Each structure stands twice: as structure tokens, then as C-alpha cells.
Amino acid sequence: MIPGTLFVVGPTGSGKSAVALEIARKFDAEIINGDAFQIYRGLEILSAQPSAEEMKLVPHHLYGFLDPAEEFDAARYAHLANARIMEVLHRGKRPLVVGGSGLYIKALTHGLAELPPVDSELRSRLVAMPMEEARTKLLELDPAAAAHLNLQNPRHVQRALEICLLTGQPASELKKSWQEAEIQPCGVLLDLPRDLLYQRIEARTVHMFEQGVVREIQALGSPGLTARKALGLREILSGTPPSEIIPEIQRATRHYAKRQLTWFRREKHFLPVSSHEEAFESLAALFAQPATG
């Protein structure tokens, strides 16, 4: 990790953007996106990107810059985000990375093994592969995967298998390199009380539809495999009435938030906080430290 970088991480719906905006305004920081779907143009409502008015208050980077048909991954994200971080530091400002995509955040804090470019044809084949076949193939190539991977999650299995096939090396070797890293990133994990988090998720889902998320997705065109993983996109594309899919999206979002928390709670470098007020106080203390610390 580049020294001087601070983080606000946590599950979807926890209010990371609001906390980041408040702290960035107070300490003249610049915000860098750490969310895998807020990078896309045309997903402003669905991915809950900061509004145009909020982006005018402090500089924001890596929001809404990519065509939704394009594939994207953690290695490409780390390359772009590190470049923005260096630019911010060279201006004498502090970079504040905000997001809930665990792999993208970890690509910044620990780095990633050098991987070949994304092979869209291979990725399409893996997505189409039956889960049981994909699991069997992964465990053949990487027997240690069962110890650190959720083998019931198709996306995790597909990605690990993709890494094995692209590199000729077990994906678990990447995990090992992370565990051995001595980097000590700074930041907070927004870990709100569960009832409050779920209330926020349910309210935000309803608000998306009030803002016109259905029209947004209908105008999207043909999203690529990465963008198609955005929560709610598949349900909205199905054409099912909002009254039926809102509860489905709310449920899927709650499950996703639980997975995010499981990931980030293992990252001991981030200080867990249970409220926005506590997050602000902790971040203020971190901003008081030298940028080279």
C-alpha cells in the first residue's frame, strides 16, 4: 500500500460515501472509489454512486468512467487506483479510498500477483460451466482451495479456477502471499448494528426504484460479464414488476452485506466502528498522523 492512504470500508448500505464526504471536506482529502460497480457509466442509481452535487464538494476519482460492456478486474483496478493515489499525494492532499469490494481493496493494501490479461472467452466458458464440474476442476488444480474459499459461491469458484487456468499456478498461492504481507493499512470498517444496516438496505432499495433505476437499466444496452454481477441488475432485466423484485433485491443485498462483513472482519488493519460518529472520530485521528506514517 502507498503510505498516506486511508480507507473507509464496509458493507453495502452502511453509509461509507456519506462518512467519506464529511471527513474529506473537513481534512481537504480526495476520494477514490473502491467499489467494483461504481466504476461504470450508466449504473449511477443501481450502484449508489455519489451525486453530481456531492462530487462537486470534493474531488472524486474512478466513478462512472467505464463503459458497462467492458470487463474489469482487481489487477486493473489496483493499477488505476494507485496512479490516482500518487497524483493526490503529489498535490499535497490525502487520498481516501471508499468502497466495499473486498478483493479490490485488498489489491491496494497487499498487492496482487501478476496475472495475464482477462480472457473473455475463458470467463464465458467458466460462467457456463456447471457448478459441480467447476468445483471438481478447481480442487484438482488447487486442492488447498477448500480451506479458504466458499465453494458454494459460483463467482468465487469461477474466479479461482480462472486464476489457476490463466497462471498455471494454484489460486491459493495468491492467498498465501497476502497472509505473509507486512503492510499495515489504515482505515475504518463500518460495522453497524445488523438491524440498522438491514433497515438502511431496505430503504435504499425502495429509493432506487423511486429514482428511476428501471429506466436506467433499460437504457444500459448490453452489459458485460463484470457489470452483470451488479446486485439487482439481473432481476430488473427480467422485466418482473418492481413490487415483486424489490423484496428479492433486498434479500440478495442483505446476503451480500453479510459476505462483505465476513471478508472485512478478517482484515485486522481496519478499525471496526459501529456508528458514523465513531467512524468520523477514528478517521480524524488517522488524518492527524503524518501522510508518510
pLDDT tens by residue, 24-62: 999 999 999 999 999 999 999 999 999 999 999 999 999
Q: How many CB atoms lie within 10 A of CB 17?
A: 21
Residues 243-254 have a mean pLDDT of 96
Cα(104)–Cα(107) distance, rounded to whole angstroms?
5
- Beta strand segments in the chain, E: 6-9, 30-33, 60-61, 95-99, 186-190, 271-273
Cell numbers standing for residue 96: 481516501
Higher pLDDT, 163 or 33: 33
Mean pLDDT of the chain: 90
Q: Which of 21, 7, 30, 17 is nearest to 104 (CA)?
A: 7
Residues 224-239 have a mean pLDDT of 92
Q: CATH number for the 6-111+184-287 domain, one of 3.60.15.10, 3.40.50.150, 1.10.150.20, 3.40.50.300?
A: 3.40.50.300
Residue whose grid cell is 477514528: 282
8 Å CB contact between 151 and 157: yes
Residues comprising the chain, all counted = 293
pLDDT at 147 over 80: no
pLDDT at 179 over 60: no
Burial label, 94 (beta-carbon count in 10 A; 0-12, 13-18, 19+): buried
Burial label, 155 (beta-carbon count in 10 A; 0-12, 13-18, 19+): exposed
Exposure b/e, 110-144, CB count within 10 A at least 16 = b: bbbeebeebeeeebeebeebeeeebbebbbebbee
Cα(268)–Cα(251) distance, rounded to whole angstroms?
28
pLDDT at 292 over 50: yes
pLDDT confidence tier of residue 293, bands split at 50, 70 and 90: very low
pTM: 0.80
Cell numbers standing for residue 77: 483496478
- Beta strand segments in 89-167, E: 95-99
Query: For position 67, what pLDDT does the model report?
Result: 96
- CATH 1.10.20.140 range(s) for the chain read 120-179
CA distances in angstroms from 143 to 100, 114, 169, listed in the order given: 29, 21, 12
pLDDT at 228 over 80: yes
Cα(164)–Cα(220) distance, rounded to whole angstroms?
32
8 Å CB contact between 280 and 23: yes
**Taking phi first (over 0 means left), then psi (-120 to 50 degrees means alpha), and beta for anything else, what does residue 139 get?**
alpha
- Single-letter amino acid, residue 255: H
Query: For position 177, what pLDDT does the model report?
Result: 56
Higher pLDDT, 213 or 183: 213
pLDDT confidence tier of residue 92, bands split at 50, 70 and 90: very high
- CATH 3.40.50.300 range(s) for the chain read 6-111+184-287
Q: How many CB atoms lie within 10 A of CB 77?
A: 24
pLDDT at 4 over 80: yes
Q: Which fold has domain 120-179?
A: Histone, subunit A (1.10.20)
